[in-house]
Amino acid sequence: MIADNGIVIAFWVLAATTVGCALMVAAVRELIQAVLFLALTFVGVAGIYIVLSADFVAVVQVLIYAGAVAVLMTFAVMLTPSADRRNSETAFQAPALVLAGMITAIIVFVAYDTDWPIADRAGFPATAASLGRAFLKPYVVPFEVASVLLMTAMIGAILLTKEEEEDEHA
């Protein structure tokens, strides 16, 4: 197993936090509180990235997910009418629980049963530089495609929310 006791303790604490916050997302009544717990979940996942020595990905996770995606979800919650902002009792609770339980069971079973090999090579000395080189040498085409996709999304958002030119000036 893992050599260092510290890593084991850190992993279990972070995993408990993450899973607990994720459960709270589904369990709380108020939508805004759910978004807050989701942000905490993201921070927990960033912690797990740090346990795996992926420092760049961890910080980017905090920056993008907890800093921007959570804000986006907050805006989305603000735009929902107040009546729909509570996790009301629906008839879907039992089937949803069953489905979630089944998916969890499958994942746990597969994870337990697989023979996880230990990677041959050592960890990266500087993940940011390696990632940068990977973006620009072997994986430059997906990188460019992703940026074009983002630009299309931004232009689409601006077009969708543009108001008609109103003639207000008397």
Partner 1 sequence: MPTLGLITGYWFDIRDLSNLSRKIYELLGDAGAPDWLIWVLSALLGTLGIISFIGAVAIVNIWVERRVVGRMQSRLGPNRLGPFGLLQPVADAIKLMQKEVLQPASAPGLIFSAAPILFTVPGIALMAVLPWGRNMTLADLDVGVLYILGMSSLAALSVFMAGYSSNSKYSLFGAMRVIAMLVSYEIPIVVALLGVVLFAGTMNLQGIVLFQETYWAPMVLLQPLAFLVYFFSVSAELNRTPADIAEAESEIVGGYHTEYSGMKFGLFYAAELINAVAVSAIIATLFLGGWWMYKLDELVPGWMIYIGKIYAVYFLFVWTRGTLPRFRIDQLLNFAWKWLTPMALINVIVVAAEVLVWEESGWSAGFFVPLYIAINNLLAGALVVLFVRVLAPKFQRFPVRPRFAPEIDVPSLPAPPLMGEPRTDLPASGAYPI
Partner 2 sequence: MPIKTEPVEVNIGPQHPSTHGVFRMVAKIDGERIVDVRMVVGYLHRSMEKLAEERTYTQNIPFTDRMDYLAAMTGNLGYCLSVEKLAGIEVPERAQYLRVIFSELQRIASHCMATGAFINDCGAWQTPVMYCFRDREKVLDLFEMTCGARLTTNYMRIGGVAFDIPDEFLPALDKLVNDELPRAFEEYDQLLVGNEIIMMRARDVGVVSPELAINASLSGPMLRSAGIAWDIRKADPYCVYDHMKFDIPIGYNGDAYDRMVIRIEEMKQSLRIIRQAMHDLPDGPHKTDVPLALRPPPGEAYSRVESPKGELGFYVVSDGGPAPYRWHVRAPSLINLSVLREMTVGQTIADAIVTLGSIDINVGELDR
Q: Which residues bind partner 1 (CB under 8 A)?
A: 5-6, 30, 32-33, 36, 39, 55-56, 59-60, 62-63, 66-68, 70-71, 74-75, 78, 126-128, 168-170
Minimum Å gap between C-beta 63 and partner 1 is 4
Q: What are phi and psi of 122, to 5 degrees?
A: -75, 170
Which one of partner 1, partner 2, none is in contact with 59 (Cβ closer than 5 to 8 A by kind)?
A: partner 1
Long-range contacts, stretch 165-168, CB < 8 angstroms, 24+ apart: none
By CB under 8 A, residue 81 contacts partner 2 = yes
Helix axes 5-27, 31-51, angle to 10 degrees: 160
Tokens encoding 146:
């992703």
By CB under 8 A, residue 161 contacts partner 2 = yes
Which one of partner 2, partner 1, none is in contact with 27 (Cβ closer than 5 to 8 A by kind)?
A: none
List the one residue out of 42, 23, 33, 24 whose CA is nearest residue 86: 33
By CB under 8 A, residue 138 contacts partner 2 = no
